[in-house]
Structure 1
Amino acid sequence: MQVAGILLVEDDPAVRAGLELALTRQGHTVTSYASGEEALDHIRERRPEIVILDVMLPGIDGVEVCRRIRKIDQLPVVLLTALGDDLDIVVGLEAGADDYVVKPVQPRVLDARIRAILRRVESASPDRLIFGDLVVDRGALKVSRAGREIHLTPTELRLLLELVRHPGQVLNRRYLLRAVWDHDHVADSRLVDACVQRIRAKIEPVPAEPVYIHTVRGFGYRFSPP
């Protein structure tokens, strides 16, 4: 059974205690804090495997915490969002979050998302692929362009690897949700779109004019290297 060292950031004491208990019963090791400032201090001193991050926090909110995490680390981040807060979800995904779970949180759903992320981190295929100045090393799980390493989150890397595995083919969002996030709820297609945008910002010479990952309107995405 896959277990993780989890950093839980939730300011509601009852929710925090309930999630910590439920995740601990699933075998995970959980460290919890009520504020983003405390969480960032913890990450600098002791890196967790996954961060479970409430969007609405006192002081530094969850989206800003996610942005600051991305400046120093590519570890997976799952957002806890309120029902119907679509704007928070979109902004959080653009800030670099890998996934989200809507409150009230079902512990089994959160546990499933955590284990899906662990599988993404662990999965690798041995091979080194070269597309012009873009190099995707599936064995070492590294990506570089023009000789400079590009730092991708596990989810970004898994999505890129899935696209690279099917060069020239159009992959629809539902397929990518199943392959990368291990679920295929149509409403979660924004996970795919936000992740593609983040990858483009990192690998494309001009993100607004992509040469690697192309959008096929009404269908999905295609990896077509020049």
Structure 2
Amino acid sequence: MQTILVVDDDQNVRELVTVFFAEEGYTVLEAADGMEALECLAEHSCDVAIVDIMMPVVDGYELTEDIRRTYDIPVILLTAKNQLADKEKGYRVGTDDYLVKPFEPKELLFRVEALLRRYQKNEDAIIRLGPAVINREMYEVKIGSQAMLLPLKEFELLFLLASHPRQVFSREHLIEKVWGMDYEGDERTVDVHVKRLRERFAKLTDAFQIKTIRGVGYALEVDSE
């Protein structure tokens, strides 16, 4: 069950959203202002935040910036204003979508569902192996606080192996998937790239290792601990 955080100083709006989304099968958490919202996010795992702009203490713009710095969840801003400048500011601080009051709860539902689908696709582009995070969106490998940008083919080879841990890939299969069917080079290219990957990560982490399967090819082994 997915959890929605609705942040609005108007109790009627909070109740409207809470009742509607609860009937649709969502868990809904409420916050009356930005400070309450941050406290709620620190204690609960949320999948999306619906945030009003005009709030006391911490307004919706500030809250969106705070969420962006710490949490990887989509944000929809709600506002009574339909001014282009307000929308521009909202997108600049990091909102994913924008809805003007008064709104139809069904339209809000459609927007929430679309954002959740989009974020789910982004999650599929991220592989976590212990302390290692392989991010296909950024072509980056992060181990702890250390981030590395790999050469394109090295990254694609690592991502393919990591996407199917313990699955054995032949050199021919890896060539086809990473370099393409039109590649006319030698299969030893795979060996060279595997060697480079091993050298890069051998001293950084033992969360995964690329194993040679004699007579076949390679497989990525993951530390089970």
Mapping 1:31-110, distance limit 5 Å: 31-110=29-108
Deviation at 1:87, TM superposition (A): 2.0
The higher radius of gyration belongs to 2
Shift in alpha-carbon separation, 1:125–1:20, aligned structure 2, 3 A: closer
Structure 1 CA distance, aligned partners of 2:26 and 2:57? 28
Mapping 1:61-210, distance limit 5 Å: 61-123=59-121, 137-138=135-136, 143-144=139-140, 148=147
What's the CA shift string for 1:159-186, capped at 9, x where partnerless? xxxxxxxxxxxxxxxxxxxxxxxxxxxx
Residue 98 of structure 1 aligns with an amino acid whose one-letter code is: D
Structure 1 CA distance, aligned partners of 2:32 and 2:124? 41
Residue 223 of structure 1 corresponds to none
Residue 10 of structure 1 corresponds to 8
User: Secondary structure of 1:123's match?
Assistant: helix
User: Secondary structure of 1:57's match?
Assistant: coil
Uncovered stretches (5+) of structure 2, i.e. residues with no partner: 127-133, 150-225
Aligned length: 139
Shift in alpha-carbon separation, 1:95–1:145, aligned structure 2, 3 A: farther
Structure 1 CA distance, aligned partners of 2:21 and 2:83? 24
Residue 74 of structure 1 aligns with an amino acid whose one-letter code is: D
What's the CA shift string for 1:38-86, capped at 9, x where partnerless? 0001111222110000011111100001111112122111101224232
Structure 1 CA distance, aligned partners of 2:47 and 2:124? 23
Residue 54 of structure 1 aligns with an amino acid whose one-letter code is: D
Deviation at 1:5, TM superposition (A): 0.4
Structure 2 CA distance, aligned partners of 1:41 and 1:148? 29
Shift in alpha-carbon separation, 1:60–1:115, aligned structure 2, 3 A: same
Residue 153 of structure 2 corresponds to none
Structure 1 CA distance, aligned partners of 2:68 and 2:123? 25
TM norm structure 1: 0.55
Residue 104 of structure 2 aligns with an amino acid whose one-letter code is: Q
Q: CA RMSD in A?
A: 2.8
Deviation at 1:124, TM superposition (A): 6.0
Question: RCO higher in 1 or 2 (8 Å CA, sep ≥ 6)?
Answer: 1
Shift in alpha-carbon separation, 1:35–1:145, aligned structure 2, 3 A: same
Residue 170 of structure 2 corresponds to none
